[in-house]
Amino acid sequence: MTRSSMNRLFAVGGLGLAAALFFGANGFPDRAADAARYVFFLAGILAALSLVLLLQSTPSPDSHVRWVRSPRSFTVAVVAIAVYGAAIPRFGFFPASAFFMPLLALLLGYRRPLFIIIGTGIILSFVYLVFVYFLGVPVPMGIWGE
């Protein structure tokens, strides 16, 4: 499968998923207005990014895609994500993420600790501000929970 046909396929799939999210959120009860607003937000972002993917022109439309460039890095990432998913309910979203993000960066070969720490802090701050503070989405608290 060529890169351009794969981009079109995933873009159409993303638009379909965005439409399903949008119509599904319309059926939320009034008491779940915050959750519906969050789903509308996700559907809008997904639709916008899918449109960008659909309308972009790829420089070499006949280039074939390699799904896994480095089997070692891919395996490390999959195992780390599985461990991260298991750690979230126990330790909470933010502590598990603050541990997982720098660890994964180091396991994948990044060696600039200052940028890793700053990047982790920026991403977690953004997630807190947008999802917890503005949208009111509850995150797993783990052992520090209510």
Please state the pTM of the whole predicted model: 0.62
Q: Residue 140 — φ and ψ, nearest 5°?
A: -60, 130
pLDDT per residue, tens digit, the chain (146 aa), is: 677 778 888 999 999 999 999 999 888 888 778 778 888 999 999 999 999 988 886 665 556 667 677 888 899 999 999 999 999 999 999 999 999 999 999 998 888 999 999 999 999 999 999 888 887 878 888 887 75
Question: Are 75 and 42 within one domain?
Answer: no
Question: Are 75 and 123 within one domain?
Answer: yes
In a domain, 78, yes or no: yes
Question: Are 28 and 77 within one domain?
Answer: no
For residue 19, give its domain range.
3-55
Nearest 5°: the CA angle 41, 47, 49 is 105
Burial 26-61 (b: 16+ CB within 10 A, else e): eeeeeeeeebbbbbebbbeebbeebeebeeeeeeee
Question: Are 45 and 75 within one domain?
Answer: no
Question: Are 48 and 89 within one domain?
Answer: no
What is the number of structural domains in the chain?
Answer: 2
In a domain, 123, yes or no: yes
